[in-house]
Amino acid sequence: MKHSFDALMHEFPMVAILRGIKPDEAAGFRLIEVPLNSPDAFTSIRTLQEKFGDQVLIGAGTVLTMGQLTELVDTGAKLMVCPHTDVELIKAAKVAGLYAMPGFFTASEAFAALHAGADAVKLFPAEALPTINVVKALGAVIPAETWLCPVGGVTPDNVADYLNVGARGFGLGSALYKKGQSVETTKTNAEAFMNAWKAYKK
């Protein structure tokens, strides 16, 4: 991968979460996460890494164990995403040379993740909270340069609302891709998010 996580997030701060993707499916984002509860997830990750690893930052989501992290490292992919704040998992990912994007739900978890070396933190599940107010409150204490990324319930219509109160990036799930979805639909959804980002940047 020629570009760093930080550089790609500055370019377009959205991670495509392709839950349910099969090895012969792909998408057009520069940061792609294949959750490990997808069918044959490591095969998908390895295939994407081999075909697009020089253009796109590929990773695994829903990483829960050291064994899964080891298998991820073996694919050559460089991004580890997990739904929780596991300090030892984050540290191990960084030692292995991966970018780490753990989930958090409280300020304590966010700071624990950052102190462990996380490159970004994802507020998950964001839809369980009055998220705009929560992001605003977190933004008052979390370092401004932190990639604070709501995940869950993000749509093209509310991207600007989140960004206005301190979010700096997003993880995009079913609003971008659903299992079995056509390439055309995925492209349409992706363009809607890209247009929302471009409109905000104007």
Per-residue model confidence as pLDDT tens digits over 146-191: 999 999 889 999 999 999 999 999 999 989 988 888 888 988 999 9
- CB-CB neighbours of 156 under 10 Å: 18
Q: What are phi and psi of 199, to 5 degrees?
A: -65, -40
* CA separation, residue 59 to residues 106, 118, 166, 198 (Å): 24, 15, 25, 25
Please report the pLDDT score of residue 34 as a whole number. 94
Please report the pLDDT score of residue 70 as a whole number. 98
Summarize pLDDT for 47-87 with one digit per residue, the tens.
999 988 888 999 999 999 999 999 999 999 999 999 999 99
Tokens linked to 103: 């989930």
| Cβ–Cβ under 8 Å, residues 18 and 39 | no
Taking the C-alpha atoms of residue 73 and residue 7, their distance in angstroms, rounded to an integer, is: 21
**Per-residue pLDDT at 24 exceeds 60:** no
Please report the pLDDT score of residue 181 as a whole number. 86
**Does this model's pTM top 0.95?**
no
Please report the pLDDT score of residue 1 as a whole number. 46
Residue with tokens 């959804």: 189
Exposed e or buried b for every residue in 120-152, given b needs 16+ CB within 10 A? bbbbbbbeebebbebbeebbeebeeebbbbbbb
Strands of 14-17's sheet in order across: 148-150, 121-123, 99-104, 79-82, 57-61, 31-35, 14-17, 170-172
**Per-residue pLDDT at 26 exceeds 80:** no
- Rounded to the nearest 10 degrees, the angle between the axes of helix 66-75 and helix 41-52 is 30
Please report the pLDDT score of residue 22 as a whole number. 56
Summarize pLDDT for 98-147 with one digit per residue, the tens.
999 999 999 999 999 999 999 999 998 888 766 688 888 988 899 999 99
| Cβ–Cβ under 8 Å, residues 34 and 68 | no
DSSP 54: T
3-class secondary structure, 50 = helix
Residues serving a catalytic function are 33, 122
